[in-house]
Amino acid sequence: MLTLPGALRAAVIAHARADHPDEACGVIAGPAGSDRPERFIPMTNAERSPTFYRFDSMEQLRVWREMDERDEEPVVIYHSHTATEAYPSRTDIAYASEPGAHYVLVSTRDPDQAEVRSFRIVDGTVTEEEVCVPEDGPVPE
Amino acid sequence: MAIEVRIPTILRNYTDGAKSVEGSGDTLAGLIADLDARYDGLRERLVDDSGLRRFVNVYLNDEDVRFLGGLDAPVKDGDTVTVLPAVAGGAL
């Protein structure tokens, strides 16, 4: 289960909407070992593509070093799909390299209703998990 | 001669869990070969037939080695090499 404060969930959706039709991507950092996403870090999609994303390599170095200095880890790694469902694709699975992270997918294919789902991706295996927004109770579906 | 190499979480199974290891070499290629001799299998995660793997970022101090000559980048005592798997994916 991913516990995601409503304000952070809203920030992820807003980023995805702003970058649509390109895929948006980013990190939500939290204290190492806490499993609490706290610090929203939108990242540049160096691919600027509607079907692919990649963190800019120098930005990733800066962010990863910063998390290390702050004793944080990437609790959430999020990105958007702009025309397909919010489910990890073959490439999402192939490149998932943070086994401890919650991979959050947002779909912006519907202009009125964003789909937000979360997954663990470990050794090529995808497991969906519930997204719990504490202020609201569990998010339906 | 010591060059610090920072290892990402996903590759620490090759280094017995170590976040940071030391190696030596005159080029990045030499350094990777040196590490592979002690941490079997590590090289294959970093290098393929065409050079450094496309979705692995390697940095020499504060720069991406892609701009420093890739595997031919010169390295020296006191340098720090950082490895970070690219964060990437997409719709397909």
Token reading at B35:
């590490």
Quick check: B1 pLDDT over 90?
A: no
Look at residue A41 in the predicted model and tell me its pLDDT. 98
Rounded CA gap, B43 and B30, in Å? 11
* pLDDT digit string, tens, across residues A91-133: 999 999 999 999 999 999 999 999 999 999 999 999 999 999 9
Phi-psi region of A139 (alpha: psi -120 to 50; beta: other; left: phi over 0): beta
This prediction's pTM: 0.94
Look at residue A138 in the predicted model and tell me its pLDDT. 53
Give the contacts of A138 (CB within 8 A, at least 6 positions apart). Answer: A130, A131, A132
Among partner residues B57, B82, B90, which is closest to A51 by beta-carbon distance?
Answer: B90
Quick check: A10 pLDDT over 80?
A: yes
Contact in structure between A77 and A101 (CB atoms under 8 Å): yes
Contact in structure between A109 and A80 (CB atoms under 8 Å): no
Cβ contact, residue pair B90, A61, below 8 Å: no
* pLDDT digit string, tens, across residues A70-91: 999 999 999 999 999 999 999 9
Could you give all domains of chain A from N- to C-terminal order, each with its CATH number?
Answer: 2-138 (3.40.140.10)
Cβ contact, residue pair B10, A88, below 8 Å: no
Pick the residue from chain A with its C-alpha nearest to B89.
Answer: A92
Which ipTM value was assigned to this complex? 0.94
Look at residue A137 in the predicted model and tell me its pLDDT. 55
Cβ contact, residue pair B62, A57, below 8 Å: no
Domain B3-85: homologous superfamily in CATH: Beta-grasp domain (3.10.20.30)
